[in-house]
A and B are shown apart, each in its own frame.
Chain A
């Protein structure tokens, strides 16, 4: 088996282990390349099906093309899509840059808070209706106990310490110092009532592996990752106020792979275009301990 086959097999194994172990399972889909690869791997694991819902946390600041892409493939692949958002913060304009919040506070409100309450089911969820293509508001729902996330260990320091199955307590908190052991592909699939588990099938993948796999499988990835002639492309997707495109002439998947392997990005960190990471020395770790993905 080559590297990609080994990664694929391990991710499928983890997804199936999650499906077997958690009655109330959901996968987060950010529309970016990693969670789209994850979604593809789910179709691999379940032989063409995705037997659990996908959740997208919409900050309403997402690059508009992302929403178009999301709805198109959710319909085409018959996905059970749930959208969550922090309506209160958005209505009160407690955001960045519109409101008084800084970037980190905005992330905490629009992403972490929205995620926490949409997962637990105490905030409304908007569910895609496949007959109309629109969304139906659900006032409340059952809490999800297993949450599949596309985090990769090579993204930054705190993610390199994640487990494949990582418990979160009642307050969504991550106890980094006291993580469960994982050995011989036996994971933490038993959990106390009130807690939930985050599942990370992509932990061992690098950014390059992701693109190589997209290439091998011919996965339809959102095209804002490519340069359309102005010498700019997105390397990492997020909200438009905090995500800048990078200078690049990569026009397709093969160009991106070349750029990562031996070209200009072969040793520049992927999240260099994400401003919230720079707010303090350990920005992302602070966010992650508090439930950020």
Chain B
């Protein structure tokens, strides 16, 4: 003890390496006690804390426990269990640690997951008397999913089983067998008694059959994984900054480099849009000029060529293997939500910087992580289940398989404002169809039409119906154009209607808080009605992207859609019918659109 104190005082003056370790296991198996003891025996507690807690126990006539050092919250002291993951700071001779005390009670699994997901290595604690229990196994399984590769198993409370080697070996064998089934190989399995201080920081004489290492040595022997600098470059675009009002004209692409490295001048590609550019500068504040950046850094870039980007794109290097792009993901999900995960319900996926609506489309198997039993006939995913399933995102997203690049191969699911699930991507599950195409197919099957054919309507109205979609960035006068166009066509005898965004919002929708994609969907459905009735429908939508445009075109089918773009064309793939850089001459713009409509035979001339 004296010696340890001395060593601690001689700690290297430089800022040292730091590692996050989580302590997990079944409830009451002594996780908090292990940490409390480790901190006390390495002299890592603030002065007076130990005495303080001991005095408080004496005052309340309760036996002192090392766990009280950690379970600082009132609820926890009275119930004697850990409710939430707590961080404890401690340092060995080798490095600094944040030890995360994770709760073992099933009720607090989401707290355990929050704690474990921050860790680089884990100590899994098993009670020698109780042996391997449900959450010993469940926690062990989840470690693998959370991406924690290093784990050591601590068989605690050896004093209660008279330090029996036989008991230890039996638990060790049982648990190693379980870990073997899920492909986890622990660094060590060690017997200890946290309460008595056996094998915590020094080898215990009570177990002469065990030669080490101690818990402290085990922790120091975990290997600090280097930053993934040599993997393909992945930079989720978190945001795009332009602080023009503060007199700053830089347009900065901000985010954190998950893997790989990049230098000024490197050619890059953004996914899913496929847009390309080059790194012009690496931006930072209060640092020397940087020409290189690598994994782990939160940084910012300016680009050679100004391209229109939105948060959620994934920046990759053009000379490296790109990420995958798709809407259908085969995944492994663990569910923490109070409500089960069900099909046909809109959730939100957060993957890197992506935030997007997502649906559960198929459940392949559901696993009970504590028993490793599977069920292939489940209709929904219950709380604490682990399920292999297929998810469909609203629009294509960029991702990697978790076995290739873990950082961009995992995600969380939001249900009703809460993170309700987490998962890893096993593969891509692309299909020729999607939710919209499937919907239109079903709709056309059910849609009952009268004997009046589209041709009959065209003859009667002297026009072929179409949707005229005016898009482009906001505030360029699109609405004025749409209204003037409607008036012009109306005055020349056409069957025409202008559908404004606000019209659609207040007329059809009661709830003003609808999401943009739902709004797009409704515009598509409304367009279908009007164009089916033989009208020329004019509408405007700002900042439409490729997928939104494809959705509207699909929903409006089998009727036509003509796209007029005002201002910079930000589509990557979409074919537009008319491009106008500005609306300075409104009459000319209207004439040009009418020319298009005439040429494409929507406006049938009277004399024909």
Contacts and interface: CB of A to CB of B under 8 A. Distances in A.
A282 B77 CA distance: 11
Interface in B240-276: 241, 243, 246, 248, 250, 252, 254-256
B146 A190 contact: no
B216 interface: no
Interface string A1-24: 111111011101100110110000
Nearest to B56: A281
Contacts of A176: 73, 75, 83-84
Interface stretch (B295-303, B378-386, B525-533, B576-584): B295-303
Nearest to A187: B419
Contacts of B241: 46-47, 51
A161 B114 contact: no
A158 B414 CA distance: 27
Contacts of A163: 114
A49 B242 CA distance: 10
Nearest to B43: A267
A105 B524 CA distance: 59
B285 A47 contact: yes
B72 A158 contact: yes
Nearest to B252: A47
B114 A183 contact: yes
A177 B84 CA distance: 7
A92 interface: no
A262 B411 CA distance: 42
A179 B246 CA distance: 38
Interface stretch (A61-69, A127-135, A149-157): A149-157
B110 to A, nearest CB: 4
A78 B422 contact: no
A206 interface: yes
A137 interface: no
Given A163-B114, A177-B84, A282-B74, A204 B98 contact: yes
B221 interface: no
A212 interface: yes
A68 B117 CA distance: 43
B86 A160 contact: yes
Contacts of A182: 114, 117-118, 419
A210 B319 CA distance: 40
B599 to A, nearest CB: 44
Given A1-B296, A78-B246, A262-B9, A158 B73 contact: yes
Contacts of A281: 56
Contact of B284 (A2, A13, A20, A47): A47
A3 B15 contact: yes
A232 to B, nearest CB: 20
A158 B72 CA distance: 7
Nearest to A208: B15
A48 B252 CA distance: 12
A206 B89 contact: yes
A145 to B, nearest CB: 12
Given A20-B311, A182-B419, A261 B348 contact: no
A253 interface: no
A70 interface: no
A204 B46 contact: no
A161 B85 contact: yes
B6 to A, nearest CB: 11
A285 B71 CA distance: 12
A186 B49 CA distance: 34
A188 interface: yes
B414 A190 contact: yes
Interface in A155-210: 156-158, 160-161, 163, 176-177, 179-184, 186, 188-192, 203-204, 206, 209
Nearest to A209: B15
Contacts of B108: 177
A154 B297 CA distance: 24
B248 to A, nearest CB: 7
B350 interface: yes
A204 B297 contact: no
A46 B243 contact: yes
A43 interface: yes
A93 to B, nearest CB: 32
Contacts of B98: 204
Given A49-B248, A184-B410, A268-B47, A179 B84 contact: yes
B456 interface: no
B87 A177 contact: no
A269 B44 CA distance: 11
A234 to B, nearest CB: 18
A161 B18 contact: no
B155 to A, nearest CB: 27
A17 B74 CA distance: 32
Contacts of B254: 16, 45
Contacts of B85: 161
10 contacts: A1-B296, A5-B296, A47-B248, A47-B250, A161-B83, A180-B110, A184-B411, A267-B45, A269-B46, A285-B73
Interface of B: 9, 11, 13, 15-18, 43, 45-49, 56, 72-75, 83-89, 96, 98, 108, 110-111, 113-114, 117-118, 146, 227, 238-239, 241, 243, 246, 248, 250, 252, 254-256, 283-286, 296-298, 300, 311, 336, 348, 350, 410-412, 414, 417-419, 422
